[in-house]
């Protein structure tokens, strides 16, 4: 098992200014740094790749889906911007040799409303239409799109793995799979280990986050059950810590981050990694 940590743990948005994080993450003992792409134009991708190669630090890529990047929006221009953002991130992932690009690719984070079944179907169809386009690019680039269910407070479109699987089946591409975030799963799933086993080969990436988004191992998650389920499906992907140490105002509002989640970002990352290594040893 390889372990990673997201740039979100320390900073938002991540930019060239914060490339020292790569050295910190490597020194801590992580295998992977997960780069959250909030603004692709403030990151020197060539320099980032050079540093990561020098450090022998792998990279995975995650998305940040604000209101202007919603492929299920009623506004066609917003849908187009959302699709272009996904395509840009797939190309970035390909360049950085990341096997996945993941996130709630289907909608905007924080978009939660009670709408009619007819409206839901229209939005779903827009989403499917754009995901089919995105997976064609993903296939060309050899990057799997990780489709991440969010909890009910952050999305009204996809909350459970079963809902995610229905999208996977409809798009019908080996380059669209499921990314699980155990924080969200703890709210929405009856039994996370059973959920993992049900997803099986369709699981491409895991963000192993605690029940309160704090340090892994300090909350109420069934970590032993999660580990056993990952072993049962022969999962060989990464397990990554993704939480928010210094969220932007937009991110804090969308993810409801109102208080510090640990004494420090460094402590959360280092203690979380120690827990991962003990759990999966």
The catalytic site residues sit at 148, 242
49: Cβ contacts below 8 Å, ≥ 6 apart? 59, 95, 96
As a whole number of angstroms, the distance between CA 199 and CA 190 comes to: 14
As a whole number of angstroms, the distance between CA 149 and CA 159 comes to: 5
As a whole number of angstroms, the distance between CA 125 and CA 110 comes to: 20
Candidates 269, 265, 197, 262; CA nearest to 235 is 197
166: Cβ contacts below 8 Å, ≥ 6 apart? none
- Cα atoms in the Cβ-side hemisphere of radius 13 Å centred on 6: 31
- Residue 257 burial (CB count, 10 A): 18
As a whole number of angstroms, the distance between CA 58 and CA 56 comes to: 6
For 48, 64, 273, the CA distances from 192, given in Å and listed in that order, are 35, 24, 21
Structure tokens at 249: 């105002």
């Amino acid at each position: 098992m390889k372990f990673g940590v997201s740039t979100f743990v320390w900073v938002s948005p991540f930019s060239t200014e914060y490339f020292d994080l790569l050295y910190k993450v490597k020194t801590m003992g992580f295998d992977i740094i997960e780069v959250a792409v909030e603004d692709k134009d403030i990151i020197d991708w060539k320099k980032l790749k050079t540093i990561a190669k020098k450090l022998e630090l792998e990279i995975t890529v995650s998305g940040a889906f604000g209101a202007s990047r919603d492929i299920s929006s009623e506004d066609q221009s917003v849908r187009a911007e959302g699709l272009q953002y996904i395509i840009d991130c797939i190309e970035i992932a390909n360049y950085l040799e990341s096997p996945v690009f993941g996130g709630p690719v289907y909608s905007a984070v924080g978009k939660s409303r009670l709408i009619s079944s007819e409206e839901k179907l229209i939005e779903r169809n827009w989403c499917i239409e754009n995901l089919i386009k995105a997976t064609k690019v993903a296939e060309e680039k050899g990057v799997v799109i990780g489709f991440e269910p969010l909890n009910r407070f952050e999305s009204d479109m996809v909350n459970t793995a079963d809902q995610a699987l229905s999208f996977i089946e409809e798009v019908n591409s080996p380059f669209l799979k499921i990314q699980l975030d155990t924080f969200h799963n703890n709210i929405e799933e009856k039994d996370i280990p059973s959920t993992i086993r049900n997803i099986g080969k369709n699981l491409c990436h895991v963000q192993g986050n605690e029940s309160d988004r704090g340090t892994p191992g300090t909350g109420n998650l069934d970590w032993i059950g999660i580990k056993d389920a990952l072993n049962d499906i022969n999962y060989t992907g990464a397990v990554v810590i993704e939480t928010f140490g210094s969220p932007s105002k937009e991110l804090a509002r969308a993810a409801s981050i109102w208080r510090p989640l640990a004494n420090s970002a460094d402590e959360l990352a280092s203690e979380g990694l120690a827990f991962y290594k003990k759990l999966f040893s």
